[in-house]
Structure 1
Amino acid sequence: MSASRRLAVVALTVLAGGVATQAQIPTRDEPNRGGSLDLASQDPAVALERLRVAPGYEVALFASEIEFPDLAKPLAMTFDTRGRLWVLTSPTYPHVRPDEKPNDKLIVLEDTNGDGRADRSSVFADRLYIPTGFELGDGGVYIAQQPNLMFMKDTDGDGKADERRLLLHGFGTEDSHHSIHAWQWGPDGALYFQEGTFLHSQVETPYGPRRLANAGVWRYEPRTEKLDVFVSYAFANPWGHVIDRWGQNFISDASNGYNYWGTAFSGHVDYPRKQRPMQEWTLTRVRPTSGSEFVSSRHFPDSAQGNFLYNNVIGFQGIKQYRTVEDGSGFVGIEIEPLLQSSDPNFRPVGMQFGPDGALYVIDWFNPLIGHMQYSLRDPRRDTSRGRVWRITAKGRPLLARPVIAGAPIAAQLELLKAYEDRTRYQARLALRDRPTTEVLSAVENWVAGLSPTDPGYEHHLLEALWVHEHHDRVNQPLLERLLAAREFRARAAAVRVLQHWFDRVDGAMRLLAPLVKDPEPRVRLEAVRALSFVPTAAAASAALEVLTLPMDYYLTYVLDSTMTTLEPAWKPVLSTGGRFAEGNAAGLSFVLDRLEPGELAKVARSTPVYHALLSRAGVPAAVRREALEALASQNGTTLLREILAAVDRMDGRPGSSVPSADLMQLLGTMSAADLAPERSAVERLGRDGRNDGVREGALAALIQIDGTATGAWQLTEAAPRLRVDLLRGATRLPPGPALDSLRTLLMPVLTAATTRTATTGTAPGQIPGQSSAPVAGRYVRLVRPGRAQVLSVTEVQVFSHGDNVARAGTATQSSTLAGGATGGHAPRAIDGGLDMAATAGTDPLNGTHAFTSAEQDPWWEVDLGAERPLDRVTLWPAAPDTRNGLHLSVLDANRRVVFVRDMARVGAPSEEVALAGDMSAAIHDAGIALLPRLPGHEADAVTTLAAFMRQPAHRQAAMAAIRRLPPSAWPQAEIAPLADTVLAHVRAIPSADRTGSAFLDAVGFGHELAARLPDGERQRLTSALDALAVRIIRIEAVSAQMKFDLSRIAVTAGEELVIELVNKDEMPHNFVVTKEGALETVSLAAEAMMSSPDAFGKSFIPTTPEVLFSIRLLNPGETLQVRFTAPTQPGAYPFVCTFPGHWRTMNGVIDVARAAVRESAQ
């Protein structure tokens, strides 16, 4: 979905009363968040009074523990083909006590008289232990008995399981409520079930071991005994999975409340790889969730059909409802009014399903406490005896006649595959699954032959017939091919999935699959690209790349990236050896070349696209780059210079192009003036109009080289102060000689005048008359983080016009929205005025203020200002300091022409300002200052000039760096002492909070260099003064994969001012918290209690308590952060700890605070 389209959907959401209608029942605090127990709803009548349904619906009690004591702690449900409700219960959760035997149960509830209340209950199986999921099928029950998958069956007809058979063993059990759950039959005849993070499964199968670590979705074919990972993704704990009418998967993650279109990340990946983060398909969320369903019931209103429902159990306690919108290859969910909400803090809806009568049935775990991280495992307030089933119906609409499925003839069961209700067809498939395969498939053939092609549901009926074949594991290639060519694109997409399942048993499977990559419908293309991930050949990779010849969207790009990653072992060797690959597909070849590291790219067999890639990629060795230029020159019958200029033109201004284009411009400096002269006009054009700074700088330097003097270039930049800066910066690459001397002649009067007031113009000291740059006329401000699998994250973007921040009134969009993290990452968060992610945590529905994308190729964020206007500057507030990949900033006019670009090598905290207009005098002076050390023969004069600039705070840093580039022997002795005094005064003026940055350290280093040239007494005085101002930095690392810090004790002086530098080298997030003496456990347990709070990540799991003395926020893997710390004034042993849940028991240490004399003697 395009970002603009997705934005329009958001707007429609508000207009339709979606997100804007969330003024619902006020939520109560959980007991561990200051709330009190309210047990009045132990009476189901009170609980019913506290339920509120959307207009047009009503809710009633179907069953409770009052009538049926075995209905204690229900956690999963499904109906059977007789219309009975099966419920799995677990009063044993969260663990069995030493003096008890587990006796969880699978019970069957029946409404025998059709009055909407259960009147009969029986126990099918007991003596179970925390059975987290089950499904009916094949004459029995598939059920989780961690670490096992069991099959239970009633063989004597008494309604009780008397056969218990172990099918699979080895599923992870590290966390009981993360074990295999959310069971669902797919229309393909496979069982799907899921597990959460922390678990490590290794399951033996007849086809070899199957492994999954830290969450995913399993797919099990009971007939073939094949077990495979359907989705390998870093879920928290996915307790929802529902499959729509056309076989599309939708998966909900409980702990964070994210909802995913499961198809898009279900391509093949090899263990232990995980799919990269993917955006949600719903535009809003709550957490934690459990259970999901699509409305597919004629009993419900027409307006509700197809709506997506999911339960939520903390805070908002009820059923959220979303309008489902198909868009591009995927879906978008727009929130509308909740279907159900309760004011009862004990209401915990954990599962739901439409029943055979068309009503929606909801199971209620009923408990004042929920979860076993938020509360003690042995907390006596846990409820172990209650559970309810609620029934939601539509007012004034007739219930459905219960379909006769069990015991019906095969022909009648096949007719039920035409039913509107998803759950009726679901049950009919299971009934047909139980019948003899030969009889069923013979009947299916006759049924298909009798279908009318004019029936609006004809192709869906054919699809149901194909799925029956999958249930019986029988390939029907003619029917498959018929559906691959269906008019209904959803049927084609579903048929592609079947082709993937049968790939090794279908004649000419690749011949059938490859053309579908170019199907007119994006969802069919996506299914085809996904299917190719299971075909480990270079031909499959080449076929997948054909999708790039048609329009792409977020999900298509995501799936293509995943497939090409999986198939890398197949296509990379072909590419590197010059084999035939992606022939005639320039976009496809470019796609794979972009995925190669520079070293890999240099080994690829040469071709024109490869040469272009070598020229446009940073990090390519100069010799390889020159080889590419020479090859292109030979191939095109041109010169090396023309190929350089052509390559620069191709990439100039593109995200990530600043380094390679600057590298190419550097080559101009290796050419003679005679070689450059034929292209003078092209060089001048780049110097004047180039978009990248490095391009303009290189071109202007080359212009001086061509002319043999700086006069022409100086005149060219006279009325363009920004170009004057580029000229001076570019000149640093020129060799000594007359041309550079001519530039010094022009420059020195400018620098000399910089510290004096000009009487004739009245300009301020340092200001150059007429050197103001005009504002940039722009409408769009765009940020891109170039590269593969990058995340763009920004807290705030401010765009100023005439001094006003006009971004706040703009419209923000971005390439994707990350599912995960603390804020939801929506684009408008970067223009909401919030500069601190934690500032709105707990009050903002998205719990934060910064925007971020999912990990993708070249992610972008953009603000549309509504109209073109003069822009002065842009200020960026990054979400965190980032030194790995620079942001590419561009400004576009109303016609989306680029009018300004800037590649930033670093975006640091707290903000980065990019000037688009204004006085350029300071920038011109700084560029001139930097050039002075590179003008040989005038070193002493240069130091004198630079010493004058040292007295101007605005230029002190630049002047200091310039002097240090000159040999100390060239420093006039008369300047040493005054410079030393200036440096000492400067260092003393730097606030203590800033005395760990490079500016402070550079100044101290310069001071020591000056001291070395002073007499002994003066030297000792200066060095002592400088040393006294230094601030100690204590570096502490989170050690990779060991759940510990590298330091266990830190010695400091009482009241000492120092800096803690936290370095996260682990794969988990970590924080750093200092507590009062003896408060380690109290603070850590308070942090663990935050798990149930939606703002826990926003607050970095740091509890608000006076026992916390100091803290550093959660750092992601690879992050480093320095924070100022004042040691406690009282001597003692103060614990430090990582309070991220589960980390504190091993990630801790002690800060020993001693009186100054004690620490000094110890050191």
Structure 2
Amino acid sequence: MRVVCYQRDRIPNALALLKAAANDPSPRVRLEAVRAASFFNGPDVPKALEVAYDVLKHDTDYYLDYCVKETLRQLQSLSKEKVLPAEPAVLAALITRMDDKELEAQPEVEAVLVAKLQRKSYDLAKRDRFLKELARLRNSDPVAELVTAIKTLDGKDGADAAVATELGKMLVATPAARLEKVIPQVTELAKNARMPAVSRAAWATLIMKDRKADDVWAASADGKSRLAVVSGLALVTDPAVRAAFYPQLTALLADVKTKGPVRKAAILALPLTGAQNAEASFKVLANELKEGRERAAVAGAMMQLPRTSWDKASAGDLAQGVLNYAKSVDAKRRADQDFVELNQLGMELASLAGNSGLRKELRSLGVSVFVIKTVHEQLRFDTQRIVVEKGKPFEILFENTDVMPHNLVVVEPDQHLNIGMAAMTMSPNDKDKKGRAYLPKNFKILDATHMLEPGQKEKLQLKAPDKEGNYEFVCTFPGHAMIMWGQVVVTGDVEGYLQANPVPHLPMATMPARSGEVNQVDQSIAHQGRRWQRPFPPLVISSRSQLSCRACSAPEVRSARARSTSVFVSSPRYSLPAGPSPSTGRHSPSCRANASSATVRES
């Protein structure tokens, strides 16, 4: 092969010899063949590419993979257009070796589009475009292609659950009328999918289509389906439909036979049933806590509830129960997230009950680690305040349990709104040295997480400033900072501060909703005892919950993900309406009259 390589210009059938060698049983011979192919140029490039592609029909190792990659890089640079292998199996083998950047540069043939759908680096808008292009190539329907993509992913060993969840969200957000032809396949996935993420999404899709809790509950009597239905409620985009499952969830928890993952899922689903069920949910969760069942899940669920729904009369007993359990936990486990969350809950309950001694005892058992989570579709953190001792180290574990991206940025006092407004002028590609987006340079930032996708978590390790004050943590995703923030109180006497200020209070200006409007953000924040001063004029919401432009009443142009979100934000990933300017009367940027502007960027 080396002779053929160096004498290639004198051997008439050199490429034919290399092609045969590329299929030789010996990997050393195949290695020499693919290396030799890299020396060809001009009109010989297409056939030299075939030599490199033939190597992919056989097992490879590190050396062959490296040589194939470099040979393809060289030959493709000499070709006027990207040339992909014709054989499906070889093309599939090639695609699996490509990183996202290399895949992005390939022609959008069927195999490439399918591969892109299975990568987690693409947002929903791009996935939607891939599906439409696949449907055009295959002369089919984008919804049918979406179901096919989910089925393919479900049958693939080692498939990414995060990708399955993202595709599932697209399926759940599909209008009921477009689902009719694929309901048999969705039902099959709901009952027989291998991946829990696929089963959850399929059941959530059936729930959104039928909108009948009793019927879905009856159809999911077996344990696997029941778990998928309950855990899939987080994907259901209509709050009223989620609320309809409250009786089923409470009945499930009342049954002592309900154990393990199903009980845990039911506990976590209770806060999703809305503010109208919050007080009753607190009582159910309180009973679970008293019985010592799924304490970690109960702590997480209870912290998601509006604090106005917490029962002050029972708070002391519940906090005492948390303390009794906390004392039994080995000191080595007290930095674990489950213990930290439970201990935080106990301290909040003790503060609500006005029992400073109980709170002090709980604080003495904990460590300087705080868990802060997002609240599902409410644009708020589940923790409004943390109190730390000045000059001492502490940690924040931030977990995004919402359906959209969020970050957590720790800033100086009274800066959350200023940094939030500055972040709204930034591009998502404007990142700092650590790859973190939406962090304006002209602000002193104590620390910040990356922009976390749903389900991700990140830990911050900080040292409290030596200067006392009400520092702040905030989400700087465009449009979120107005209401999505909390306080990091730095003090020299933590217990003294907590005794004087047992209940957190975040100062917020009040702007009543206009007559005839439904402002879901205002409603959710009002349950926290504070209200949002709207940075944008609200949109008129029709009886069918369709957002409209105030200037012309035209329906808003929104992505599938945006249709399922009940808050007004702007985002390069999820485009949501911000409303027309009251001073100019201009159309909303996402109005059909101005549909060219897909992403809102107003301060």
- In the superposition, the TM-score normalised over structure 1's length comes to 0.30
Superimposed CA distance per residue, residues 71-112 of structure 1 (whole angstroms, 9 cap, x where no aligned partner):
xxxxxxxxxxxxxxxxxxxxxxxxxxxxxxxxxxxxxxxxxx
- Within a 5 Å distance, the mapping from 1:517-556 to structure 2 comes to 517-519=22-24, 524-532=29-37, 539=46, 540-549=48-57, 552-553=58-59, 556=60
State the identity %: 26
Distance 1:1030 1:705, change over 3 A: closer
RMSD value, Cα: 3.1
Q: Does residue 1:562 correspond to 2:66, yes or no?
A: yes
Asked if 1:499 corresponds to 2:4, the answer is yes
Residue 979 (structure 1) aligned with residue 318 (structure 2): yes
- Which amino acid is the alignment partner of residue 362 of structure 2? L
2:141 maps to which residue?
639
CA separation of 1:515 and 1:987: change in aligned 2, threshold 3 A: same
1:691 is aligned, of 194, 201, 213, to: 194
Structure 1 residues 985 and 604: CA distance shift in structure 2, 3 A: farther
Superposition deviation, residue 617 in structure 1: 1.5
Shift of 1:629: 0.3
- Opposite residue 767 of structure 1, the aligned amino acid is K
CA shift for structure 1 position 752: 2.3
Pair 1:1009–1:534, CA change in 2 (3 A): farther
2:257 is aligned with 1:922: no
Distance (Å, rounded) in 2 between the aligned partners of 1:1028 and 1:696: 43
**Structure 2 contact 56–94 (Cα < 8 Å) conserved:** no
Asked if structure 2 preserves the Cα contact closer than 8 Å seen for 1:497 and 1:531, the reply is: yes
Superposition pairs for residues 621-1020 of structure 1, below 5 Å?
A: 621-654=123-156, 655-718=158-221, 720-736=222-238, 739-753=241-255, 766-768=256-258, 921-936=259-274, 937-1015=276-354, 1018-1019=355-356
Give the C-alpha shift of residue 648 in structure 1. Answer: 1.4
Cα distance, 1:568 vs structure 2 = 5.7
* Residue pairs, 1:32-111, within 5 angstroms: none
1:541 is displaced (CA, Å) by 4.9
Which AA in structure 1 matches 2:360? S
Counterpart of 2:191, as a letter, is: R
Match of 2:503 in 1: none
Deviations 1:701-745 (Å, cap 9, x if unpaired)?
Answer: 111122221333322321x20221011111111133554344223
Q: Where in structure 2 are there 5+ consecutive unaligned residues? A: 370-393, 396-603
**What is the letter of the counterpart of residue 141 of structure 2?**
T
Displacement of 1:623 in angstroms is: 1.4
Q: Distance in 2 between matches of 1:1008 and 1:934?
A: 24
Shift of 1:508: 6.0
- Greater Cα radius of gyration, structure 1 or 2: 1
Aligned-pair distance for 1:515? 3.5
How many angstroms apart in 2 are the aligned matches of 1:602 and 1:529? Answer: 24
2:457 is aligned to none
- Does structure 1 conserve the Cα–Cα contact (< 8 Å) formed by 2:38 and 2:72? no
Q: Which residue of 2 aligns with 1:617?
A: 119
Tell me the secondary structure at the aligned position of residue 179 of structure 2. Answer: helix
Change (3 A) 1:750 1:930: same
Q: Which has the higher helix share?
A: 2
SS at structure 2 position matched to 1:604? coil
Which residue of 2 is the match for residue 583 of structure 1? Answer: 85
1:602–1:620 CA contact under 8 A, matched in 2:
no
Residue in 1 aligned with 2:388?
none
C-alpha distance in 2 between matches for 1:536 and 1:1030? 68
- 1:926: how far off? 0.8
By how many angstroms is 1:694 displaced?
0.8
> Which one-letter code corresponds to 2:330 in the other structure?
P
Q: CA deviation at 1:1032?
A: 7.2
Three-state SS of the structure 1 residue aligned to 2:207 is helix
In structure 2, relative to structure 1, the CA distance for the partners of 1:516 and 1:664 (3 Å cut) is same
What's the CA shift for 1:535?
A: 6.6
Name the CA shift for 1:658/1:932 in 2 (closer, same or farther; >3 Å): same
Q: Could you give the per-residue CA deviations for residues 915-971 of structure 1, whole angstroms, max 9, x where no partner exists?
A: xxxxxx321111111110000110000011011111243411111101111121221
Q: 1:637 to 1:505 in 2, by over 3 A?
A: closer
Superposed, which structure 2 residues align to 1:447-526 within 5 Å?
A: 496-500=1-5, 509-519=14-24, 524-526=29-31
1:849-875 deviations in Å (ceiling 9; x for gaps) = xxxxxxxxxxxxxxxxxxxxxxxxxxx
Distance 2:21 2:330 in 1: 65
Partners of 2:330 and 2:7 lie apart in 1 by 70
**Cα distance in 2 between the residues matched to 1:674 and 1:574:** 49
Q: Structure 1 547/600 Cα, relative in aligned 2: closer, same or farther at 3 Å?
A: closer
Which residue identity does 1:1028 align to in structure 2? Answer: S
Partner-residue secondary structure (3-state), 1:951 = helix
Which whole-Å deviations, capped at 9, do the CAs of 1:1036-1073 have from their partners, x for residues lacking one?
Answer: xxxxxxxxxxxxxxxxxxxxxx99xxxxxxxxxxxxxx
Residues 249 and 270, structure 2, Cα contact 8 Å, conserved in 1 = no
The 1-side partners of 2:223 and 2:76 are apart by 48
Contact 1:533 1:563 in 2 (8 A): no
- Deviations along 1:464-506, one digit per CA (max 9) or x if unpaired, are xxxxxxxxxxxxxxxxxxxxxxxxxxxxxxxx24434655776
Distance apart, 1:574 and its partner CA: 7.7
**What residue number does 2:362 align with?**
1026
Matches of 2:116 and 2:4, distance apart in 1: 39
Q: Is the 8 A contact 2:35 2:71 kept in 1?
A: no
- How far did 1:671 drift? 1.5
Residue pairs, 1:1076-1095, within 5 angstroms: none
Distance 1:504 1:991 in 2: 75
Q: Which has the higher contact order (CA 8 A, sep 6+)?
A: 2
Contact preservation (8 Å) 2:190, 2:199: yes
Q: Residue by residue, what CA displacement relative to the aligned partner does 1:362-421 show, whole Å, maximum 9, x if unpaired?
A: xxxxxxxxxxxxxxxxxxxxxxxxxxxxxxxxxxxxxxxxxxxxxxxxxxxxxxxxxxxx
> Is 2:132–2:142's contact at 8 Å kept on the other side of the alignment?
yes
Displacement, 1:1006? 2.3
Decide whether the 8 Å contact of 2:347 with 2:363 is kept in 1. Answer: no
Residue aligned with 1:938, SS:
helix
Change in CA separation of 1:501 and 1:953 when aligned onto 2, cut-off 3 Å:
farther
CA distance in 2, matches of 1:652, 1:644: 12
Residues 965 and 741 of structure 1, relative CA distance in 2, 3 Å threshold: closer
TM-score normalised by length of structure 2:
0.55
C-alpha deviation, 1:978, in angstroms:
2.1
Say if 1:621 and 1:601 are closer, same or farther in 2 by CA, change over 3 A.
Answer: farther
Could you tell me whether the CA contact under 8 Å between 2:38 and 2:74 is conserved in 1? no
CA distance in 2, matches of 1:721, 1:715: 12
Match of 1:963, SS state, is helix
* Cα distance in 1 for residues equivalent to 2:162 and 2:273: 26
Whichever structure has more strand as a proportion of its residues is: 1
The 8 Å contact of residues 546 and 585 in structure 1, kept in 2 or not, is answered as: no
The answer to whether the 8 A contact 1:926-1:955 is kept is yes
Shift of 1:581: 1.5
Q: Distance in 1 between matches of 2:124 and 2:77?
A: 24
Per-residue CA deviation, residues 435-454 of structure 1 (Å, 9 max, x unaligned), is: xxxxxxxxxxxxxxxxxxxx
Q: Using the TM superposition, give the Cα deviation of residue 686 of structure 1 relative to its aligned residue in structure 2, in angstroms.
A: 0.5
AA matched with 1:525: R
- Structure 1 distance, partners of 2:13, 2:61, is 27
Q: Aligned residue pairs: how many?
A: 367
Q: Distance in 1 between matches of 2:49 and 2:348?
A: 60
CA deviation map 1:299-328 (0-9, x unaligned): xxxxxxxxxxxxxxxxxxxxxxxxxxxxxx
* Contiguous gaps of at least 5 residues in structure 1: 1-495, 754-765, 769-920, 1034-1057, 1060-1163
Change (3 A) 1:535 1:1022: farther
The answer to whether the 8 Å contact 1:717/1:723 transfers is yes
